[in-house]
Amino acid sequence: MAIRVIRENGDEILRKKSREVEIVDDKIRELLDDMVETMHKYNGVGLAAPQVGILKRVIVIDLYDDNGPLKLVNPKILKAKGTQEVEEGCLSFPNQYAKMIRPEEIVAEALDENGKKIKIKAKDLLAQAICHEIDHLDGILFVDNMIPGTLQYVEPSEEKN
């Protein structure tokens, strides 16, 4: 496992569309593990492969609950219901946050780390995170869909190490 470099705003790879993963093999599993480790190092809730410079449809999410990290390959949203106004940040935009409208509930489909097809019913923060990370796979950044005028820069506090 290794910590990967997170690409930040202005890096052109963040605007590119990721390719489907043909086979979930050891290389993909290593990428998923590295992404989880990288996301945890930077206290993120989610991370998409383009954020570490890989144009593959791979995302990881961790709500830091009892379920552990979610590793998704080729995720797709099948259904979305309701709306919620949320505050969102992104590891590629350090210390920046904006308000957005996201679906309140979604049903998504993906492959797990063993290549098995899974279906996920998600609401609230998990639905938000899945939508945010899938946007990354399509070259869409949260600032593209934010409620205009809500982007804020928050000074990093000295306490968080």
Is the distance from CB of 78 to CB of 121 less than 8 angstroms?
no
Rounded to 5 degrees, what are φ and ψ at 97? -140, 150
Nearest to 40 by CA among 8, 79, 96, 2: 2
Active site residue 109: no
Contacts of 149 (CB under 8 A, 6+ apart): none
Is the distance from CB of 129 to CB of 61 less than 8 angstroms?
yes
Provide the 10 A C-beta neighbour count for residue 65.
Answer: 8
User: Which is catalytic among the residues 12, 37, 113, 133?
Assistant: 133
* Dihedral Cα 35, 72, 13, 96, nearest 10 deg: -70
**Token pair of 82 as six digits:** 């309701």
Rounded Cα gap, residues 60 and 81, in angstroms: 22
| Location of structure tokens 């070259």 | 139
Give catalytic residues, as residue numbers.
Answer: 133
